[in-house]
Amino acid sequence: MRPSSSIASSRGTAAPRMYFIPFPTPGHALPMADLARLFASRGADATLVLTRANAARLGGPVARAAAAGLRIRIIALTLPAEAAGLTGGHESADDLPNRELAGPFAIAVDLLAPLFADLLRRQPADAVVFDGVLPWAATAASELGIPRYAFTGTGCFALSVQRALLLHSPQNGVASDTEPFLVPGLPDAVRLTRSRLAEATLPGADSREFLNRMFDAERATTGWVVNSFADLEQRYIEHYEKDTGKPVFAVGPVCLVNGNGDDTLERGRGGEAETAVEAARVLRWLDTKPARSVVYVCFGSLTRFPRDQVAELGMGLADSGANFVWVVGDKNAPPPLPDIDGAAPGRGLVVRGWAPQVAVLRHAAVGAFVTHCGWGAVTEAAAAGVPVLAWPVFAEQFYNEALVVGLAGTGVSMGAERGYVWGGEALGGVVVGREAVAERVRSAMAGEALRGRAREVGERARRAVEAGGSSYEAVGALLEDVLRRLNTYATARTPGRGGRGGMP
């Protein structure tokens, strides 16, 4: 990860100073940490702003990058939890024991605003890359005349769908939750049902605050930074750029900034000895299995299935006849599991809490990925060239499924026609039964055409981040945009030209 000489030389010896601040949960903090290292590798002076808990998780790769000569660091902010009525020391959304604490947690996150503004005043930046759900970070940058770029956390297809649903509300015109409707104004004919929508877009939902935040981000941002690449969703990159009137810099998949060493093995869980032992255990087990014979099963850091659905999933995996690695929830409060050793002796490895996902997906033994279709998981699968078995759970995950299954052709549906309300999973019952799990896994593992398409997209993803590729060029374009705005500011400060105020 050698710094780019072209960027550094364009300002003499100075590198553009960039701050990166994500919403504190793994699905946002992990790709933002990769993003900071990516820009540092291209000559930026990168500062990653995290809560203390996420700083501990993500510090190892950043420290190694700094030791290798990149200009990168972490600044850890203390979450004002007590001021928001949040107890228990929770500093990341995946650590919350129940949804009732989500409100106080969101308030605590917003209370980071003055801390971040004070940081910018004390240690000025040339640009801020802020999480799109933290518009106050853009406000702080704007007040100091600093260019600010919104990191979207998902792809342009899902963003385009969400924007259309919030603006036009086609979901309000159908008679039932299962009646399909057309999402208006998209490059393709995309049909959804109300049972597959994010909560904020459901009829009767209190979506105004979400909509206001979306438009706040649109007004505040200089441009969009997206963990995606042209060959995955080029038409939607162009569509979202046109729809919002702001440039889109598609720089992904950002997980490819991780090599095959320690950065990949501990990504997301720090450098503790326990983490290293678990990573080694999983990879040793995979080493014993034939190529493309293992299905990897993981639903991210926030999904908590009800007990009956866990049992159906486990027995379906056993019935499929495939080898599988199954990552199961929080190791501190795991759900009761069926007897995997008895039902599938030698074929199943259960991991409680965490697995080195990027390293697992890159392993030659892995032939498919059962996932909730969080955008990080989608891009990691694409980068590894592994087909997806899509099982969305909540938020924008059904939109990501529509892209992967319907447009990109790199996945198939597991058959989930409805999701869960986060925090209310216990009331959701069984969404996909044992027989369906077994049949879909068997079919996908035997699908040569599906595997070939995923492999092709993986090759395109890797080419995108190489010198001359679309994502490589997008990183350079964003850095040049920062430098152009800095030069404009410097010109404006010369005698007779006024001050910095009003810089976009």
**Co-location of 230 and 358 in the same domain:** no
Residue 268 forms part of a structural domain: no
**Co-location of 239 and 369 in the same domain:** no
Identify whether the C-beta of residue 231 lies closer than 8 Å to the C-beta of residue 460.
yes
Show the domain range for 277: 273-461
Looking at residue 179, its pLDDT comes to 95
Identify whether the C-beta of residue 291 lies closer than 8 Å to the C-beta of residue 364.
yes
Residue 440 forms part of a structural domain: yes
Residue 400 forms part of a structural domain: yes
User: Which DSSP symbol is given to 74?
Assistant: E
**Co-location of 138 and 89 in the same domain:** yes
pLDDT at 50 over 80: yes
Residue 187 forms part of a structural domain: no
Provide the domain count of the chain: 2
Q: How many whole angstroms separate alpha carbon 302 and alpha carbon 420?
A: 12
Residue 127 forms part of a structural domain: yes
Residue 96 forms part of a structural domain: yes
Alpha helices (H) in 130-289, listed in sequence order: 135-143, 156-168, 208-220, 230-244, 262-265, 273-287
- The residues pairing with 296 across neighbouring beta strands, listed in sequence order, are 325, 369
pLDDT at 499 over 50: no
Identify whether the C-beta of residue 34 lies closer than 8 Å to the C-beta of residue 257.
yes
Q: How many whole angstroms separate alpha carbon 329 and alpha carbon 305?
A: 9
Residue 180 forms part of a structural domain: no
Kindly indicate the confidence band of residue 89, based on its pLDDT and cuts at 50, 70 and 90. confident
**Co-location of 121 and 167 in the same domain:** yes
Tell me the pLDDT of the chain averaged across its residues. Answer: 87
Kindly indicate the confidence band of residue 155, based on its pLDDT and cuts at 50, 70 and 90. very high
User: Which DSSP symbol is given to 78?
Assistant: P
CA 34 to chain CA mean position, Å: 11
Distances (CA, A) of 442 to 125, 317, 327: 52, 9, 19
Residue 88 forms part of a structural domain: yes
The length of the chain is 504
Kindly indicate the confidence band of residue 4, based on its pLDDT and cuts at 50, 70 and 90. very low
**Co-location of 353 and 472 in the same domain:** no
Q: How many whole angstroms separate alpha carbon 61 and alpha carbon 77?
A: 19
**Co-location of 98 and 240 in the same domain:** yes
Q: How many whole angstroms separate alpha carbon 329 and alpha carbon 13?
A: 47
Kindly indicate the confidence band of residue 424, based on its pLDDT and cuts at 50, 70 and 90. confident
Q: What is the pTM of this model?
A: 0.90
> What pLDDT, in 10s, does the model give residues 364-395?
999 999 999 999 999 999 999 999 999 999 88
Looking at residue 53, its pLDDT comes to 87
Top-ranked range on mean pLDDT: pick from 218-232, 260-274, 455-469: 455-469
- If one counts every other C-beta atom within 10 angstroms of the C-beta of residue 55, the result is 21
Q: In terms of pLDDT, which residue wins out, 155 or 499?
A: 155
Looking at residue 375, its pLDDT comes to 96
CA 489 to chain CA mean position, Å: 33
Measured between its terminal Cα atoms, the distance across the chain in Å is 31
**Co-location of 209 and 307 in the same domain:** no
> What pLDDT, in 10s, does the model give residues 22-48?
999 888 999 999 999 999 999 999 999
Q: How many whole angstroms separate alpha carbon 366 and alpha carbon 286?
A: 8
Q: Which two tokens stand for residue 427?
A: 């009331």
Looking at residue 8, its pLDDT comes to 40
**Co-location of 281 and 236 in the same domain:** no
Phi/psi-derived region of residue 269, left when phi > 0, alpha when psi is between -120 and 50, beta in every other case? alpha
Picking from 30-34, 210-214, 378-382, 448-452, which range would have the lowest pLDDT averaged per residue? 210-214
CATH at residue 69: 3.40.50.2000
Torsion sign (Cα): 313, 316, 320, 325: positive
Distances (CA, A) of 381 to 360, 412, 458: 10, 13, 8
Looking at residue 270, its pLDDT comes to 66
Top-ranked range on mean pLDDT: pick from 99-113, 167-181, 485-499: 167-181
Looking at residue 345, its pLDDT comes to 76
**Co-location of 470 and 441 in the same domain:** no
Q: How many whole angstroms separate alpha carbon 177 and alpha carbon 203?
A: 10
**Co-location of 227 and 282 in the same domain:** no
Average of per-residue pLDDT across 52-67: 91
315-355-20-232 Cα dihedral, nearest 10 degrees: -60
Cα atoms in the 13 Å half-sphere on the side-chain side of 12: 2
**Co-location of 477 and 404 in the same domain:** no
Looking at residue 502, its pLDDT comes to 40
Q: What positions carry a catalytic annotation?
A: 28, 131
| Percentage, residues of the chain above pLDDT 70 | 88
Identify whether the C-beta of residue 250 lies closer than 8 Å to the C-beta of residue 474.
yes
pLDDT at 5 over 70: no
Kindly indicate the confidence band of residue 339, based on its pLDDT and cuts at 50, 70 and 90. confident
Kindly indicate the confidence band of residue 333, based on its pLDDT and cuts at 50, 70 and 90. low
**Co-location of 30 and 160 in the same domain:** yes
170 upstream amide cis, omega within 30 of 0: no
